[in-house]
Structure 1
Amino acid sequence: MNASRPAAALSSHEQTRFRLTDHPEHHRILQVQVDPGALAGFVDEVRQIDVQNLEYVPFMRYKLADVLARHVGEDFAATLIGILKDRRHGGFTVGLQDMSTDATDFVRFGTAIAHILGPCNHDAMSGTYYARVVVKHTDDSDSYLRQAYRLFTMHTDGTFVSEATDWLLMMKLAQEHAIGGESRFLHMDDWDDRNRFVDHRLGTRPFLYKAPGSKNVSEMVERPLFFQTEFGLSISFIDQFVQPRNREEAAFLCDLSASMEASPGTKEVSLPVGELVVLNNYFYVHGRAPFEKNESLFRELMRQRGMFA
């Protein structure tokens, strides 16, 4: 058990059915391991709730969260929120542990976890509260999200929308013939070069963000790279959609992005099928390593992002 876990996780687990362990591939992220009996009870109880019902009826998403909390224990919710709000950690993984191979069960489980945290943002790309993203051998999209063989550079989510994005959830629904493609995470406090950029005169100047057509978002948003929140020093950045006004700004942004990519604090994390990761979107940036080329490559991820209740 992690001795430095957040205070919300310190209560007795005698009535609960989960435990926390250190993640083997990341020194900050915690693994949440749920009792298989609790997972089986959840999966069985919600199996009749179809995904279209979840897409159309928002309160059904919270019903899933209630069912999961009831099976695992009421301090489960407080523990998850406590981990994400604790800057020492700010992230966790949890999964169905081979309880199912059905992607629909994965969507239900991910929806339950997300709505324990709070309401999901509307995902304009998919038109509902979540998106399913497929990565294959070929791609003709207008962003790095689906391009398998190049580095998906470090970024935060929600840069080009006015709605707050407190946390990000990513769950692996399926994978075949995939080598590489590990998730990459950098906590701001592990970035050695951070203060060089924070203290630069452009560090707190607002930058303009505009999304490509595939995102179905027409608004343009201005926000600074670095700012203060209840979680301390925070960041908002994505290289693909930030619009520099001149060569000086472009050079600063290019240097910042390269520094995050090369930082020793940037760690690769493997995510098995049926497992999800949730990160605090204010003090983590994330990306993806390239895959090895394979014409049969297939990976499907589910993304949800939202606010704390």
Structure 2
Amino acid sequence: MSMVKTDLVKSYENFSVVQHPQSERLYHIELKDEAVTAFLEKHRNTISQQLEYIPYMRYVIAKDLKQVLGEEFSKVINEVLHDREFGGFTLGIGKLTSSDEDYVKFSTAITHLIGGVNFDAMSGKYYARFTVKDTDNSDSYLRQAYRLFTLHTDGTFVNEPCDWLLMMKFAEENAIDGESRLLHLDDWEELDYYTNHPIASTKIPYKSPASKNVSQTVYNDTFFEHNGKPCIQFIDQFACPDTIEQAEYLKSMSESMENSTAVVELNLPVGDLVVLNNTFWLHGRAAFEKHPDLHRELLRQRGYFKKV
């Protein structure tokens, strides 16, 4: 039986909501072409540099997107993200534009209907754009195409809330495999075992590599509770446990999640984005098939829910 709430799955004036074809935990939102075109036309002369230099402009374009799509759009996406049963959606504008500038503006409008963004120290901006290609000499798995990028949550090595995550695909050529891998915490078969383990509430040190441009050490409980439900903070690459027992727990937990039958391999076309509640959705990436001209570019934004 479908989990999707029928009161959300319907057509609105300028958009419609359907169950995502790959997961009952996700929605897909189809936007009316004329509404998207009106938004892009209104901000034809807005450039991404303005959004970087003038923070209030990010909320201005969010207001304009809400005006063209309707008040219901903002209500729907926030309801979805806060709903523990779901917590994620996809949508896109790739059939109307292939402009990087349009993608930055549109994704920024979406995120600022949700809340505020965290500064991304890796890029020195409120968002990061990064490429995956055949060769790489980085110090993390983010850009390493032929390795499994294991399931994790974002923001583990910064001392600020990271409630949600947006990823948008800007470009892709010669890419076989490399799908985004997602896991909703409540679908993980061994959730109870790992949340009830004594080390689940032990504070684990997290340190980022040099490329992240963050030098502090952050101490995280692997699991914490919100609204009576377990949430998670974890990434294997940056966890620096203090004991053998902690290391064994984290390794076993990561392997259990990777082997879960509930992992979704998400198909995300160019120009589409996915937004997830970062406290109970984990994400990663499958390895790509080897190709000398592999190229994929993604944008990432992450941040906190707006105060209500």
Q: TM-score, normalised by structure 1?
A: 0.96
1:222 aligned residue (219, 223, 234): 219
Q: Deviations over 1:82-121 (max 9, x none)?
A: 0000011100001104100111111111111011101100
Question: Which residue matches 1:296?
Answer: 293
Supply the distance in 2 between the matched residues of 1:76 and 1:178 (Cα, whole angstroms).
33
**How many angstroms apart in 2 are the aligned matches of 1:97 and 1:81?**
23
Contact 1:178–1:299 (Cα < 8 Å) also in 2: yes
Secondary structure in 2 aligned to 1:252?
helix
Structure 2 gaps of 5+ residues are none
Tell me, yes or no, if structure 1 residue 4 matches structure 2 residue 1. no
Question: Which whole-Å CA distance do the structure 1 matches of 2:190 and 2:169 have between them?
Answer: 31
Aligned equivalent of 1:136: 133
Correspondence 1:273-288 to 2 at 5 A: 273-288=270-285
Q: Are 2:173 and 1:176 equivalent residues in the alignment? A: yes
**Whole-Å separation in 2 of the counterparts to 1:303 and 1:231:** 29
Is the Cα contact below 8 Å between 2:94 and 2:270 reproduced in 1? Answer: no
Q: Out of 194, 206, 209, which is 1:209 matched to?
A: 206
Structure 2 residue aligned with 1:158: 155
Q: State the AA in 2 paired with 1:112.
A: A
Q: Give the superposition deviation at 1:13.
A: 5.6
| Structure 1 position 5, deviation (Å) | 2.8
**Aligned partners of 2:62 and 2:109 also within 8 Å:** yes
- CA deviation digits over 1:282-301, x for unaligned, max 9? 00110000000001000000
Please list the CA deviations of residues 8-30 of structure 1 after superposition, one character each: whole Å capped at 9, or x if unmatched.
x47x865x311111111122110
Q: How far 1:223 moved relative to its partner?
A: 1.1
Structure 2 counterpart SS, 1:242 = coil
Instruction: Provide the rounded CA distance (Å) in 1 between the counterparts of 2:219 and 2:184.
Output: 23
Query: SS at 2:299's partner residue?
Result: strand
Alpha-carbon offset, residue 64 of structure 1? 1.2
**Per-residue deviation, residues 148-187 of structure 1 (Å, max 9, x unmatched):** 0010000000000011000000000011110111000000
SS, match of residue 116 in structure 2: coil
Give the equivalent residue in structure 2 for 1:244. Answer: 241
Which stretches of structure 1, 4 residues or longer, exceed 3 Å deviation after superposition? none
Partner-residue secondary structure (3-state), 1:104:
helix
Task: Give me the whole-angstrom Cα distance separating, in 2, the residues matched to 1:73 and 1:188.
Answer: 32
Select the residue among 34, 37, 43 that pairs with 1:37: 34
Percent identity between the aligned chains? 48
Find 1:89's aligned residue among 86, 89, 103: 86
Say whether the 8 Å CA contact 2:236–2:254 is kept in structure 1.
yes
Say if 1:211 and 1:241, in contact at 8 Å, map to a contact too. Answer: yes
Q: Which segments of 5 or more consecutive residues in structure 1 lack a partner in the other structure?
A: none
Contact 1:120 1:129 in 2 (8 A): yes
When the two chains are superposed, the root-mean-square deviation of aligned CA atoms in Å is 1.4
Quote the Cα distance in structure 2 between the aligned partners of 1:168 and 1:39.
22
Measured at CA, do residues 131 and 237 of structure 1 come closer, stay the same or move farther in structure 2, by a change above 3 Å? Answer: same
Q: Is the 8 A contact 1:6 1:86 kept in 2?
A: no
Task: State the Cα distance separating 1:200 from its structure 2 match.
Answer: 0.8
2:14 to 4, 17, 25: 17
**2:3 and 2:107 mapped to 1: Cα distance?**
27
1:127 aligns with 2:124: yes
Query: What is the one-letter code of the residue matched to 2:185?
Result: M
8 A Cα contact 2:203 2:221, kept in partner: yes
Q: Tell me if the contact between 2:162 and 2:303 (Cα under 8 Å) persists in the aligned partners.
A: yes
1:3 positional shift: 7.2
Amino acid at match of 1:208: P
CA displacement, residues 199-238 of structure 1 (integer Å, 9 cap, x when unaligned):
1110111111000000000111101001112372100000
Instruction: Say if 1:220 and 1:264 are closer, same or farther in 2 by CA, change over 3 A.
Output: same
